[in-house]
Amino acid sequence: MYPWAGSVGGIWHRESVVSTGDSVLNSLGLDIDPAIDVSVSAMLGNVEDALRKNVVSADPLVAEAARHLMDAGGKRFRPLIVALGAQFGDISSPDLVPAALVVELTHLATLYHDDVMDEAEVRRGAPSANARWGNSVAILVGDYLFARAADIAASLGPEAVHLQARTFARLVHGQIAETVGPRGTDPIAHHLHVIAEKTASLIATSARFGGLFSAASPEHVEALAGYGETIGIAFQLSDDLLDIASESVQSGKTPGTDLREGVPTLPVLYALASDDTDASAVRLRDLLATGPITDDALHAEALGLLRESVAMKRARETVRTYAEEARAQLAPLPDGPARRAMESLCDFIADRTS
């Protein structure tokens, strides 16, 4: 599987691919039952191998572009959630790796499209597909990956097809909502809605797939889906906080990138909504109100103020609230090593920006 190098940039950073069997969860410092860790690690190793086989194409350009982001690495968070969900059923089910492929290929496809819409130059520390091959090729390669995901879903049966299609619809609605903006609604509520649609929906489906294709009970499958939805929001929010809190360049993303690009993450929205009359809070609002902060001196000032702000503290508390809600969603599941592993993941996501 992978050696993992702690919490960097995302939830972790994949340095290389080696033989299966290496620790995944214990390497993060989590107290996980060794049998769970071995099971999850083995499945993720199989997923990694299968991903490479399932992005092949007779067209060399399509094959190269489709491998581009996968070769750049990634968190594989969604397959991880599939693997954890499968611990409540038959973890030897042959449908689990294909189910994980469906969610990861869908996720990768959205990244190609997102980079075109955001005019991104870099993704995971490497030139984005649109920067390298142009927007048209990047969009079409994203479409190709969606098609591969749909084909694999069809092999799993009608329910997988329906779930993947409904999840894709939520992803699209989330992207539309983000594109058009709040349109008179509360910006914070709008932001959380976008995250639920764009990120949490696919993580919820990942958890559901883990339970469904391991033949877990319907009650357990629903509990897993609720966990996935909520931990998905916490996961994305904590990623956004790391962009502010990090002191070093991690996973190809310079700290404060969102500020420089004018991306309104939760701490920024909290700061802008604040009526705090403290001089630093007022100065921070003035800086953030200008939109993208491209001047290096002003960017450094805004980043420093935001890191020490009440808004940042409030955002951390929001992440912890979602993480605790995710933990509560696990209540219908049997107590044991698998449930404790998922609870430990809640703690890890809540704590990694502290």
- DSSP-assigned letter for residue 199: I
Sequence-distant contacts of 143-150: CB under 8 A, at least 24 apart: 143/109, 144/57, 144/62, 144/66, 144/109, 145/55, 145/66, 145/105, 145/106, 145/108, 145/109, 145/112, 146/105, 146/106, 146/109, 148/54, 148/55, 148/105, 149/101, 149/102, 149/103, 149/105, 149/106, 149/109
Distance CA(94)–CA(214), nearest Å, equals: 9
In whole angstroms, give the CA distance from residue 8 to residue 246: 8
For 245-297, the pLDDT digits (tens) are 987 544 345 788 889 989 899 999 999 999 999 999 999 999 999 989 999 99
Can you give the pLDDT at residue 12?
A: 38
Q: Are 77 and 11 in contact (CB under 8 A)?
A: yes
Whether residue 324 is predicted with pLDDT greater than 70 in this model: the reply is yes
pTM of the model: 0.89
Residues above pLDDT 90, as percent of the chain: 66
- Residue 248 is predicted with a pLDDT of 56
Of all residues in the chain, the percent with pLDDT exceeding 70 is 90
Residue 188 has pLDDT above 90, yes or no: yes
- Select the more confidently predicted residue: 5 or 154: 154
Split at pLDDT 50, 70, 90, the class of 174 is very high
Rounded to the nearest integer, the mean pLDDT of the chain is 87
The residue among 197, 171, 206, 174 whose CA lies nearest residue 77 is 206
Question: Hey, is 262 helix, strand or coil?
Answer: coil
Task: Provide the pLDDT for residue 130.
Answer: 80
pLDDT category at 309 given cuts 50, 70, 90 is very high
- Tell me what pLDDT residue 124 has: 63
Residue 10, pLDDT score: 33
Per residue in 102-136, pLDDT (tens digit) is: 999 999 999 888 777 776 676 766 777 787 777 88
* Mean pLDDT value across residues 316-320: 97
First and final CA of the chain: distance in angstroms? 29
Cα(286)–Cα(255) distance, integer angstroms:
20
Q: Which domains does the chain have, with CATH numbers?
A: 18-180 (1.10.600.10), 217-353 (1.10.600.10)
